[in-house]
Each structure stands twice: as structure tokens, then as C-alpha cells.
Amino acid sequence: MNHNPARGIFYLCLGVLVFSLQDAIVKQVSGAYPLTQVVFIRSCVALPILLWLVQRDQGWRSIFSSPWGPLMARAAIMLGAYTAYYMAFPALPLADAVALYFTVPLFVTALAGPFLGERSGWRVWAAVLLGFVGVMVMLQPGSGLFEPAALLSLLSAALYGSAMLIARKFGTSLSAAVMAFFQNAFFLLGSGVAALLFHCLDVAQSSHPSVSFLVRPWVPVVPGDGLLMAVAGVVSAVGTVLLTNAYRVARASTVTPFEYTGILWAPLWGFLFFSEVPRATTVAGAAVIVVAGLLALRASKA
């Protein structure tokens, strides 16, 4: 496989910044619209952009000549990852949800063996254990402050790490635009089917904000909110291509540490847009998670 560290790091840092804007948008509209509607509108806007990128990179025929099975499987994993990730937003401060998601490098390191055949020594597993100490600091189980939605961020990290390793396994045989197109198409189909299913089952509300965000019925879109969701579609198309490219052109162990640049943006958007001030346990736990992730990645290279 080709390995271009500088390009991979650039793609990943820019992709993380772009996607952090989408996080703020989704949290902004999470109180009034269902997640299925937000994802559907976002995916509709992203579709023509991704089609143009596919045509520019390899031509539309590459969509039909690509291995649909693995691509759709990866897209399904990504749909699960983003659904879990965004469901946490109504119940958690943005900094908490994002910081817990940054266990991704730990999951990538732990799963690199099953996916890519990379062996992990005791130092790697010690670092992974340290990372989950940081998670416990943030979650504070048994303190009365534990929010179950935090587990959604952890589930999202595990699923996202798996999907990115699949992207690396494909190497350069498929363009990032083709992978992003299949992912977006699955998001479009999955969100529509899920909304129809919730409607048929008459599941419309829940006492928990995360579940309510998922199952509430579609509503008319206010123009300003519609514009935000459309912007999220553009962000999604660009960000997906950037992140997929990062893991295609460089080794996972090289680019994954730069996922942590997102920790710079989440507290900033949370403070500017939602007046959220990170708790001391959030800062401490996030610091432990970052250190653990970097140690795990360093040990994996040894």
C-alpha cells in the first residue's frame, strides 16, 4: 500500500475541522427535528456533490464496477457510528460527547490486529487500559452524574474505528469519493427507511432526549434551519472524502493521533454557540484519553 504521511495528516486535520462544524449544526437542530430528517436532508444535499467528485476522480462507471458488498457493509457501520454519535448530542455537552468519541484511536489500535493483521504487545494494551481509565473519569459511574448517552459516544468510536480500518484495507484500489458516495447513499436510504419504520410502528416520543431525537416524527422545516442542514450536507460530503482519503493514503497509526485535533474545536463551538463550559472531570478525562491514545499508537509502532 502507498504511504504518504504528510498528505494523510493534512487530510485528517482538515476533515476533523470540517466535521466539527457539522457537530455544532446537528446539536443546534437536535431539539426541534428528528435525527432521521436531519440526516436525510444532509444526505440529499451531499449526493450531487459526491456524484461530481466521483465523476472527476474515476467516472460514474466506477460506482457500478466497485465491490458493492464490502462498501455497503462499511457504509452500514458508518451509519451506526454516526447515529450513535449524534444521538448523544441532546443529552450531553458538546465537549463531553466529542471527548468520549476520541477513544477512536484506542479502538483503532485494538482492532488493527483483527482487521489488518497487526500484532499488539502488552504496552499497547496497557495504553488502551489507561484510556478507559480516562473514560471512567469522565463518566463518573456510581456518582449520580452518569448519563447513559455517554455510552453512545463510545459505541460510535468503536464503529467508526472499524470503518476506517476497512478503508485502509481497501488501500488505493478505490477512490475516497466512491467510498463516500456509497456511505452517503446508505445514509440517505437508511434514514428514510428508519423514519418510515418509526411512523408505521407509531414510535414518536421517549422520555430520554437521545431516543426522542431519533424517533420523533418529521416536521416542516424552518428556512433558517433548512439552510443549516443544507450546509451540513456540504460539510458531510467534503469531510467524508477528506477523512476517507487520510486513511487511504497513510497508515492508520500515523494519522489517527491527529483525530485529537477535534478536541480543540468541540469546547470552542460548545462555548460560542451553546454557552457550555467544560467540567473539570471532562478536561481531566480527555487529557488521560489523549495521552493513552498517543502511547498506544507509539507502542504499536515499536
Q: What is the pLDDT of residues 15-54, one digit of tens each?
A: 888 888 988 999 999 889 999 999 999 999 999 988 988 8
Q: Are 158 and 164 in contact (CB under 8 A)?
A: no
Alpha-carbon distance values, 269 to 27, 33, 94, 272, 273 (Å): 10, 20, 8, 5, 6
pLDDT score at 47: 92
* C-alpha dihedral (132, 137, 140, 143), degrees to nearest 10: 140
| Burial (0-12, 13-18, 19+ Cβ within 10 Å), 158 | buried
Nearest 5°: phi and psi at 96?
Answer: -65, -50
Q: Are 213 and 30 in contact (CB under 8 A)?
A: yes
Determine the angle formed by the axes of helices 94-101 and 262-274, rounding to 10 degrees: 170
Alpha-carbon distance values, 84 to 58, 90, 130, 156, 210 (Å): 32, 12, 24, 5, 9
pLDDT score at 116: 63
* C-alpha dihedral (288, 101, 297, 244), degrees to nearest 10: -160
Residues 187-220: pLDDT tens digits? 999 999 999 999 888 887 777 889 999 999 999 9
pLDDT score at 67: 79
Give the whole-angstrom CA distance, residue 262 versus residue 12: 10
Provide the grid cell at 25. Answer: 449544526
pLDDT score at 35: 94
pLDDT score at 44: 93
Residues in the chain predicted with pLDDT less than 70, given as ranges, are: 1-3, 112-122, 139-146, 168-174, 252-253, 296-302
Q: Which helix (H) or strand (E) holds 298?
A: helix 280-301
